[in-house]
């Protein structure tokens, strides 16, 4: 046993002992004045076994003992990748689109419900990706724009009877205004200060929604929002146009799909336009970008506004789908959820974010019986991802390192 490996195992043992020491007071000291060891030990032993197994695998991989097994597996994976890479990209897009279009025909209500959530979060993730992934501005209050969009549609629908489609541009506009409003004072800040200020803004908007009783009905939320409607021709009595409300989940799915496709195409076009390049330049090195003639002030503000537009659209759809909004839906944890989608999938990478949304919304539904541990696992995975794969599952192709990270 080398010195290195001894140190590795010693760290593991100390870590587990430390964990027991931290866990025991929480589970072992009872209110009735007794001490118990069984519950803490039961939890600890499970964690210890899992961690030890993982440690053995990691150690074996590091020592090269697994190469005989992993090499063929890696080669096979390489082969599969080559076969998959052979047909052009549009074939996959076509297959994906066909599957997405056919989805409601062969699935249950429950699956459609989850699919709608995934599509909403794809839009949100892509919107945040504009701010964080492309422009490099860390925004921890992104869900505020979602809230602005949702409340805009809710209020317009309830008080003025605006139909969904007419309200959409308003939701997008108000969200963009909110984006500029938040963006403007924060433009002078970078990095951590920016993160904390956007977090503060998100909280301010949530608190206002919670307390402005006359407008938002406070924590009780707003009821009676119309579902999206379409006009369909009716020939029964000559020719007239009938208003048809899309209350069925299957129809709503298509609206969500349309929204998601709009976001994907929109963000893709933005990413590969002059504006997108300017954003990436700002992300990589703001000072250099400014020296090269990029108007950083305008482009950063634009990034906030554009990101907010997608959030606002998603919010309006959310209100139309739930037909109820309350401040509960716009908490910090939602911002963290969207942010971790972007990070988990790979910042700046559109397929990555789609995968991230799928993983974070659909996977927990599969493991429903572990509902309680959902957020625990979510937090843990976020930290582990940063430790082992900070660039995300599908890293963006064009991505550099910020110059101010290097100090």
Candidates 32-40, 93-101, 118-126, 243-251 — which segment interacts with another protein by CB under 8 A? 32-40
Nearer to another protein, 71 or 211 (CB): 211
Instruction: Out of 5, 6, 18, 166, name the contact with another protein by CB under 8 A.
Output: 18
Minimum CB separation from another protein for residue 399, in Å? Answer: 11
Here's the x/- map for another protein, 211-240, by CB under 8 A: it reads as x-----------------------------
206/218 Cα distance (integer angstroms) = 10
- 378 binding another protein? (CB under 8 A): yes
**CA distances in angstroms from 153 to 162, 166, 311, listed in the order given:** 8, 9, 13
Here's the x/- map for another protein, 91-130, by CB under 8 A: it reads as ----------------------------------------
Across the chain, which distance is largest between two alpha carbons, in Å? 90
Q: Cβ contacts of residue 33 below 8 Å, gap of 6+? A: none
SS3 per residue for 285-309: CHHHHHHCCCCHHHHHHHHHHHHHH
**CA distances in angstroms from 64 to 70, 71, 289, listed in the order given:** 10, 10, 44
Nearer to another protein, 255 or 342 (CB): 342
Nearer to another protein, 119 or 132 (CB): 132
Tokens matching residue 257 = 């799909």
Tokens matching residue 5 = 């490996």
142/44 Cα distance (integer angstroms) = 37
Candidates 51-59, 181-189, 252-260, 297-305 — which segment interacts with another protein by CB under 8 A? 181-189
Instruction: Out of 381, 393, 395, 398, name the contact with another protein by CB under 8 A.
Output: 381
Instruction: Out of 201, 304, 310, 317, name the contact with another protein by CB under 8 A.
Output: 201
Contact status, residue 139 vs residue 132, Cβ threshold 8 Å: yes
**CA distances in angstroms from 284 to 32, 280, 346, 401, listed in the order given:** 58, 6, 16, 6
Instruction: Out of 6, 10, 30, 67, name the contact with another protein by CB under 8 A.
Output: 30
Of 387, 373, 311, 354, nearest to 151 by C-alpha is 311
Minimum CB separation from another protein for residue 158, in Å? Answer: 23
- 368 binding another protein? (CB under 8 A): no
- 333 binding another protein? (CB under 8 A): yes
Contact status, residue 315 vs residue 143, Cβ threshold 8 Å: no
Instruction: Out of 60, 196, 322, 358, name the contact with another protein by CB under 8 A.
Output: 196
3-state secondary structure of 325: strand
- 364 binding another protein? (CB under 8 A): no
Number of amino acids touching another protein (CB under 8 A): 61
- 31 binding another protein? (CB under 8 A): yes
303/325 Cα distance (integer angstroms) = 27
- 394 binding another protein? (CB under 8 A): no
Instruction: Out of 8, 51, 52, 203, name the contact with another protein by CB under 8 A.
Output: 203
Nearer to another protein, 84 or 372 (CB): 372
Contact status, residue 126 vs residue 194, Cβ threshold 8 Å: no
Tokens matching residue 111 = 């699956």
- 383 binding another protein? (CB under 8 A): yes
Give the DSSP letter of residue 372. G
Nearer to another protein, 54 or 77 (CB): 54
Minimum CB separation from another protein for residue 101, in Å? Answer: 35
- What's the count of helices (H) and strands (E) in the chain, helices before strands? 17, 4
Of 133, 52, 75, nearest to 306 by C-alpha is 133
Residues that bind another protein (CB under 8 A): 15, 18-19, 21-23, 25-27, 29-34, 138, 185-186, 188-193, 195-197, 199-201, 203-204, 207-208, 211, 332-333, 336, 339-340, 343, 372-373, 375-376, 378-387, 390, 401-402, 404-405, 407
């Amino acid at each position: 046993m080398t010195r290195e490996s001894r140190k590795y195992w010693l760290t593991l043992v100390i870590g587990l002992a430390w964990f027991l020491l931290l866990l025991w007071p929480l589970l072992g000291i009872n209110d009735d004045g007794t001490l118990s060891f069984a519950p803490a030990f039961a939890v600890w032993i499970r964690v210890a076994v899992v961690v030890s197994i993982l440690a053995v695998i990691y150690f074996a991989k590091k020592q090269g003992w697994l190469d005989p097994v992993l090499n063929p597996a890696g080669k096979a994976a390489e082969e599969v990748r080559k076969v998959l890479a052979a047909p052009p990209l549009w074939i996959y897009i076509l297959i994906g689109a066909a599957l997405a279009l056919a989805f409601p025909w062969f699935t249950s209500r429950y699956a459609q419900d989850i699919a709608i959530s995934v599509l909403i979060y794809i839009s949100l993730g892509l919107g945040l990706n504009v701010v964080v992934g492309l422009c490099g501005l860390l925004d921890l209050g992104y869900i505020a724009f979602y809230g602005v969009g949702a409340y805009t549609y809710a209020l317009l629908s309830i008080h003025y009877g605006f139909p969904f489609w007419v309200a959409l541009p308003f939701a997008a506009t108000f969200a963009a205004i909110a984006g500029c409003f938040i963006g403007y004072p924060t433009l002078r800040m970078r990095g951590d200060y920016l993160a904390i200020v956007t977090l503060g803004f998100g909280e301010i908007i949530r608190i206002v929604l919670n307390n402005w009783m006359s407008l938002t009905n406070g924590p009780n939320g707003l009821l009676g929002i119309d579902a999206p409607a379409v006009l369909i021709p009716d020939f029964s009595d000559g020719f007239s146009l009938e208003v048809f409300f899309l209350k069925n989940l299957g129809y709503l799915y298509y609206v969500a799909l349309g929204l998601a496709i709009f976001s994907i195409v929109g963000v893709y076009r933005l990413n590969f336009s002059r504006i997108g390049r300017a954003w990436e330049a700002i992300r990589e090195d703001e000072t250099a970008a400014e020296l090269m003639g990029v108007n950083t002030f305008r482009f950063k503000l634009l990034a906030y506004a554009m990101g907010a537009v997608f959030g606002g659209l998603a919010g309006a759809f959310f209100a139309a789908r739930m037909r109820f909004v309350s401040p509960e839906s716009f908490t910090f944890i939602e911002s963290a959820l969207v942010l971790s989608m972007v990070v988990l999938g790979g910042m700046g990478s559109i397929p990555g974010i789609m995968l991230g949304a799928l993983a974070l919304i659909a996977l927990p539904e599969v493991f429903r019986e572990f509902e309680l541990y959902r957020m625990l696992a979510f937090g843990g995975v976020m930290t582990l991802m940063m430790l082992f794969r900070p660039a995300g599952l599908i890293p963006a192709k064009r991505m550099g390192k910020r110059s101010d990270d290097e100090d």
